[in-house]
Structure 1
Amino acid sequence: MSFYQDYILPHLINLAMRNAQLVPYRERTAAAAEGRVLEIGIGSGLNLPFYGPQVREVMGLEPSSRLIEMARGVARESPSPVTFIEGSAEAIPLERGSIDTVVTTWTLCTIPHAIPALEEMRRVLRPGGQLLFVEHGLAPEESVRKWQNRLTPFWRPIAGGCRLNRPISNLIETAGFSITALENSYVPKAPRMMGYLYQGRASP
């Protein structure tokens, strides 16, 4: 991927969705993590400041070496040890049942094959573990959905593979998870086509 796709563009998306408004979603998601945590698409480390003392270790999976280098600077201030893994969510190089919590934040929209990736997340979670997620995706209103479907073929090639119209909760359940908590809402003042959020918890 180009530097534009893996760094500039995500920041433009965050700006469009008013990055300061996303902080409470990140904070609530990361604060619920515990034990050995695997963060999918750790990016530049925006979630690292929000992990609490109940987190023993954070493992950050990220396909972009540039973003990993950026995240290393943030990791130096993390109270928990952070290990970075350069790789894809479709083939997580960890043992079955070795993770207590998987975290995804605004990540599932860009993974090329979301269901195999989610199946990999389920594989590495221990029995009783949890998937914590906050993602943007398919909206309930037909008028918004129409625009999401129309724009996604044009948006995806220039936005690092981001799909505006993924039905996040359906994908999670199709991959074998049971959703135990789910809240849906629009980010205030964000473009509705990219601002419909799925935030919740699922068990394998």
Structure 2
Amino acid sequence: MKQREKIIPLASGNVLEIGIGSGLNLPYYSKNIKKLTAIDPSKELWLRNKVNTQKLPFDFQFIVAEAENLPLTSDSFDSIIITYTLCTIPNLHSAFSEIKRVLKPTGKLLFCEHGKAPDDFVQKYQALINPFWKRIGGGCNLNRDIPTIIKANGFTIQTLETMYLPGWKPASFNYWGIATIK
């Protein structure tokens, strides 16, 4: 997916990826990474990973954990990556409290997410089908307002780009950018 290529290479230093899933972002990390710590609540999903993490040009660690309760040291990450994860986190406020805790004061949050579309018709459709979609889509919410969520949880968005990706409009409006702690 081209969106990952736009945001992942911007990570540097000591990096935390929240919701690594099956490791789809791994090919896009640059050599500017010292260490990548990756969390996901699903070890089963992680085991579908096809990248040999022993051959990555940086240290790598996978931890089974949820974003709302990170078993990590405060102020320890230069960059935090979240891609296509905010739609499923049950308690966003707790997750962002943890993100702020572990991100260095000078660190950056790099995000790429799908969410609330700008068109009224698509928004209405998202709202109508979201309860059903959430049940069949592993907790995925189609209509979360990503920039508002990020700002409401103590971050300033430095850069933000948006567009519809090709595909089904209710699930294809994307946001990506960089945010820092207020």
The verdict on a shared fold, with TM-score over 0.5 as the criterion, is: yes
Alpha-carbon distance in structure 1 between the residues aligned to 2:55 and 2:4? 17
Is this contact kept in 2: 1:45–1:74, CA < 8 A?
Answer: no
Structure 1 ranges of 4+ moved more than 4 A: none
Counterpart of 1:92, as a letter, is L
CA-to-aligned-CA distance 1:89-124 (integer Å, 9 cap, x gap): 001111110111000110000111122212211111
Match of 1:202 in 2: 179
Q: Report the 3-state secondary structure (helix = DSSP H, G, I; strand = E; otherwise coil) of the residue aligned with 2:143.
A: coil
Using the aligned pairs only, state the percent identity. Answer: 42
Which residues of structure 1 form unaligned runs of 5+?
Answer: 1-21
Which of 5, 10, 13 matches 1:35?
13
| Pair 1:72–1:38, CA change in 2 (3 A) | farther
Matches within 5 A, 1:49-60: 49-60=27-38
Say if 2:92 is the partner of 1:114.
yes
Match of 1:190 in 2: 167
Which of 111, 128, 135 matches 2:106?
128
Counterpart of 2:34, as a letter, is R
CA RMSD of aligned residues (A): 1.2
Which of 12, 19, 23 matches 1:45?
23
Q: Report the 3-state secondary structure (helix = DSSP H, G, I; strand = E; otherwise coil) of the residue aligned with 1:90.
A: coil
Which residues of structure 2 form unaligned runs of 5+?
Answer: none
Is this contact kept in 2: 1:116–1:175, CA < 8 A?
Answer: no
TM-score of the aligned structures, taking structure 2 as reference length: 0.96
Is this contact kept in 1: 2:26–2:51, CA < 8 A?
Answer: no
Q: By percentage of residues, which structure has more strand?
A: 2
TM-score of the aligned structures, taking structure 1 as reference length: 0.86
Offset at 1:74? 3.6
Q: Report the 3-state secondary structure (helix = DSSP H, G, I; strand = E; otherwise coil) of the residue aligned with 2:169.
A: coil
Counterpart of 1:192, as a letter, is K
Match of 2:59 in 1: 81
Alpha-carbon distance in structure 1 between the residues aligned to 2:51 and 2:5? 19
Report the number of matched residues. Answer: 181
Is this contact kept in 1: 2:42–2:64, CA < 8 A?
Answer: yes
